[in-house]
Chain A
């Protein structure tokens, strides 16, 4: 088991080394993205229903639910709840969008590396250029994979948030 983990770590480290510096940044972005997404998911599934229950209980406890004042208060509560529900969703979306851009950045820095080698040693040795090319292609691929993983789950999360928000609105009757 230990040996397997060490081997895994080795292969990850090799991958990171061949990918260059950009891959580290990409890993950081991916990490933050997933931490935020998991946090949002946990919030929507566990903490938010409790909040909804409190708000609905408060609403039901009110005597007046039909006047202009009551409507405005209801709107304010919904807005506050939505605020909490949508916190950091914008950041998650941005992080997803940034992933392929970082992959592109890796591509370009890798190509710069290749051309630098060409400028220093000429085109005689393709082996020297290979490191630059892997530095260019690996971040591109990693950026794509990161973005794809993020796109699917973030859109699921968004749908979940929307549903939760609608449910809150529906559970506060007013006439």
Chain B
């Protein structure tokens, strides 16, 4: 305080002293004048200093009063602090006593509340995934509050816990229908009648549904399991009384969701790629030829059988045309007749055998195409290995299964073609035999009959 005052005074003095010097410097013309001026200035300066001193003194008295007041206040506050400290100690003691009383009063109950919390926590996680929550939503939140709360549970809460567990138990043995909001495959919400089978399955009229515990919603599966399983749902829903069989998911929805990842036949077919389509085209072409051949050969053999029974040769079947050659050359000698007949037979056989070898070629080509697909698939696989390395077997497995699918397709196309070729071939062969080896015999029989 003093140093501050001193410096203030010093600064003020310097300021005051410097001001007149600077102001008076140009006015003082002579040394005499300067002396007088300095004297005059000193007189006035002394006056000012006195006045300032007076001011400071009065101010100091004021401050002194303030200081004494503050000191008084400090003493008062200190007294109050002491009093409060004493009270705090008192309270602490009382608190400890009460705490002791509480633990005495709670006794064995403390352990029980621990159990309640644990059970409530378990029940929360169970209720979250249980499909029964689709029917009674919000149960897990109640359990969550109970499990998280720091306070002691009250009697109604304990009763709620007991009731919720009992309800879950009872509901797990029930098969009930209830209306629910179902999220359809397109993402819309729809109010539907849903059947719940215990804790295992949710179904509507003709399909399985899944329950999402996190969002507490019932949703359609992106893909239903195979039709023979969903058919049981259908018949189950239609069944009014008695028992009916039903496919139930014992894993409570996990298997159903896994099933949606299963590759369908159609998807697997598409894995075959371009080669797969080519093989399909080969199979289709082969089948078309087989059908055409079977129809033509069937018609031909029926016509020949009819020809065998009648006496008049017709132009509409191979045997008839050969017989006609004989009719037209009835009177020529045997050698000429044989030549003419051979010529006629030679004309007929290609018509019967046409297309049969094409089927055989197609049957041979299909597995070769499958092999081609295998090789291109393997090339793809190795390309992905050069790009991504062998770290992820899933990338490689995808390519390899693509390669194998074409092999399967090739074999699947070849097997029926081989079968059908053998059928068509034996049919055409029997007709060829009939024309080549038996036609002349039939003619000979005719001739003998006539000569008798």
* Shortest Cβ distance from A88 into B: residue: B426
Please choose the segment from A8-16, A38-46, A95-103 that sits at the chain B interface, where 4 or more of its residues have CB less than 8 A away: A95-103
Known contacts: A91-B423, A94-B419, A122-B393. The answer to whether A115 contacts B404 by CB under 8 A is yes
Answer yes or no: B405 CB below 8 A from chain A CBs.
Answer: yes
User: How far is B442's CA from A75's CA once the two chains are assembled, in angstroms?
Assistant: 10
Q: In the complex, are the beta carbons of B419 and A76 less than 8 A apart? A: no
* Shortest Cβ distance from A91 into B: residue: B422
Closest CB-CB distance, B143 to chain A, in whole Å?
Answer: 34
Query: What residues on A are CB-neighbors of B394 within 8 Å?
Result: 118-119, 122
* Shortest Cβ distance from B426 into A: residue: A90
Query: What residues on A are CB-neighbors of B437 within 8 Å?
Result: 75-76, 78-79
Please choose the segment from A65-73, A147-155, A157-165 that sits at the chain B interface, where 4 or more of its residues have CB less than 8 A away: A65-73
Query: What residues on B are CB-neighbors of A74 within 8 Å?
Result: 441
Query: What residues on B are CB-neighbors of A123 within 8 Å?
Result: 393
Closest CB-CB distance, B312 to chain A, in whole Å?
Answer: 20
Q: Interface size class for chain A?
A: 35 or more
Mark out the residues of chain A between 112 and 149 whose CB falls within 8 Å of any chain B CB in the assembled complex: 112, 115-116, 118-120, 122-123
Q: In the complex, are the beta carbons of B445 and A108 less than 8 A apart? A: no
Query: What residues on A are CB-neighbors of B444 within 8 Å?
Result: 68-70, 72-73, 76
Q: Interface size class for chain B?
A: 35 or more
Answer yes or no: B4 CB below 8 A from chain A CBs.
Answer: no
Query: What residues on A are CB-neighbors of B438 within 8 Å?
Result: 75-76, 79-80
User: How far is B426's CA from A116's CA once the two chains are assembled, in angstroms?
Assistant: 41
Answer yes or no: A83 CB below 8 A from chain B CBs.
Answer: yes
Q: In the complex, are the beta carbons of B418 and A98 less than 8 A apart? A: yes
User: How far is B38's CA from A109's CA once the two chains are assembled, in angstroms?
Assistant: 125
Answer yes or no: B397 CB below 8 A from chain A CBs.
Answer: yes
Closest CB-CB distance, A30 to chain B, in whole Å?
Answer: 14
User: How far is B397's CA from A123's CA once the two chains are assembled, in angstroms?
Assistant: 10
Answer yes or no: A172 CB below 8 A from chain B CBs.
Answer: no
C-beta contact mask, B395-416 vs A, less than 8 Å → 1, else 0?
A: 0011011001101100110110
Answer yes or no: A111 CB below 8 A from chain B CBs.
Answer: yes
Answer yes or no: B430 CB below 8 A from chain A CBs.
Answer: yes
Closest CB-CB distance, A72 to chain B, in whole Å?
Answer: 4
Answer yes or no: B295 CB below 8 A from chain A CBs.
Answer: no
User: How far is B444's CA from A70's CA once the two chains are assembled, in angstroms?
Assistant: 7
- Residues of A whose CB lies within 8 Å of any CB of B are 68-70, 72-80, 82-83, 87-88, 90-91, 93-94, 97-98, 101-102, 104-105, 108-109, 111-112, 115-116, 118-120, 122-123
Query: Would you list 8 pairs from A and B whose C-beta atoms are within 8 A, ordered by A residue?
Result: A69-B444, A74-B441, A76-B441, A79-B434, A93-B422, A98-B415, A98-B419, A101-B414
Instruction: For the A-B complex with A83-B434, A101-B367, A101-B414 known, give 17 more contacts whose Cβ atoms are closer than 8 Å.
Output: A69-B447, A72-B444, A73-B445, A73-B448, A79-B433, A79-B437, A83-B430, A90-B429, A91-B422, A93-B422, A94-B422, A101-B418, A102-B415, A108-B407, A108-B408, A115-B397, A122-B393
- Residues of B whose CB lies within 8 Å of any CB of A are 261, 263, 268, 334, 338, 367, 393-394, 397-398, 400-401, 404-405, 407-408, 411-412, 414-415, 418-419, 421-423, 425-426, 429-430, 433-434, 437-438, 440-445, 447-448
